Amino acid sequence: MDETDKEFMEFIEKLRKTETGNVVHTIPEVFGIQYKEVYITKWLAYLLRQKYFSWKILNALIGSDIVKKNDIKNVYTEFVFKNGRRIDILIETQQRWIGIENKIWSGEQKNQTSDYKESMKELSSDEECIGIYLHPEQNKSESNYFKNITYTELYDELSKIDYSDESTGSFEKMMFEQFMLYIKECLYMKKGEFPEISENAILYAQFINKISEISDEYKSTYSKIIDWLKYKFENNEGSKYEILESAEGYMQLAPKGCKDKWKEIGFHFEILWSRDFMINGIVKIEAHQEKTKGDNISQVFNILKITDVEYRGHNKPVDTGESVSCNFATKDNAEDSFMKILSELERLRAKHEEWETIT
């Protein structure tokens, strides 16, 4: 789980303890995130993970009823494809892959959605791939490769959804209602109505090309550093690791020879970093036990000293190591930083050697 995911979940927990009824402003305005595209994307992903109405929202985005109630398997944010491109939301269902690019204030980068479309096809050659390019009516940016849908159109479709099922939690209802209110107040636009242009929007428009250039350069460098770290973990002479999973902001590791077994029992070490880790260089290391299956569940129970577990979750690590201060400005600095990360990882590994003995 990346740093933004953690911040968003902390934001969600704060909302649970906040009186949200009869508020004048939308939630994003209260927290000052109404112009932060990444948080709105996380919010949409959060709603797409709620079993009560997630498939209805997805069908509203697609424009058909092809997704059924229990079809959604996984919802990823900032998913990184092999070519280094990151799509805002990637959804795995029983029959297809669905990608969503959320462009609230920005435009499409060169070949962005065409690359996404090809990358999605590489995930599965025999499953349907659907791309959705979501943007406000005010943002005239459109994709030639993904289906274009405006927030105005989405709002009109979501208004038809019946989410009054008794099983729907009150908090989930509130989050859906507040998302609708946010669209209505900040993104909804009737055809022919000229929008009020904010100072921030004007400022962004003045520097949009330069911002895009800088962003592409940063993402390229960021991806190369992550690839370098993967290589170092897997090829370090002293202690080799295997990558279980890697995405935006995190990397899951298992000692050499433990990969298949640890995937089955759901245990792994997790390296976490924020988007600005190249400058601030703070890396966290945790031990996680998440999904458990197979014949080893009793051994997992004994190690954790519990009687029942199906999903421990990203936010409940088994153990947390010390944060490591790193510097990736030069190769020598990066080598030194890697050794510090490895040292803390080895210390955490030594505390949990019993996981390597599960047969």
* pLDDT tens per residue across span 155-192: 999 998 876 665 666 788 888 988 998 888 888 876 66
What gap in Å lies between CA 319 and CA 301, rounded to an integer?
16
Q: Read off the amino acid at residue 69.
A: K
pLDDT exceeds 80 at position 32: no
Residue partners of 139: CB distance under 8 A and separation at least 6? 103, 104, 105, 106, 107
Task: State if pTM tops 0.85.
Answer: no
SS3 state of residue 270: strand
HSE-CB for 260 with a 13 A CA cutoff: 2
Within its chain, how far is the Cα of 10 from the centroid? 15
C-alpha angle with apex 306: 291 to 167, nearest 5 degrees? 60
Confidence at residue 54, expressed as pLDDT on a 0 to 100 scale: 92
298-304 contacts, C-beta under 8 A, 24 or more apart: 299/265, 299/358, 300/265, 300/266, 300/267, 300/358, 303/354, 303/355, 303/358
pLDDT bin (cut points 50, 70, 90) of residue 154 is: very high
HSE-CB for 84 with a 13 A CA cutoff: 13
What gap in Å lies between CA 91 and CA 48, rounded to an integer?
9
Confidence at residue 153, expressed as pLDDT on a 0 to 100 scale: 92
Confidence at residue 23, expressed as pLDDT on a 0 to 100 scale: 44
Q: Which residue has the higher pLDDT, 22 or 149?
A: 149
Considering all CA atoms of the chain, what is the largest pairwise distance in Å, rounded to the nearest integer? 67
Mean pLDDT calculated for residue range 91-101: 93
Confidence at residue 21, expressed as pLDDT on a 0 to 100 scale: 42
Domain limits, the chain: 3-206, 213-357
What is the helix (H) or strand (E) element at residue 233, kind and residue range? helix 208-235
Residue identified by tokens 């944060």 is: 323
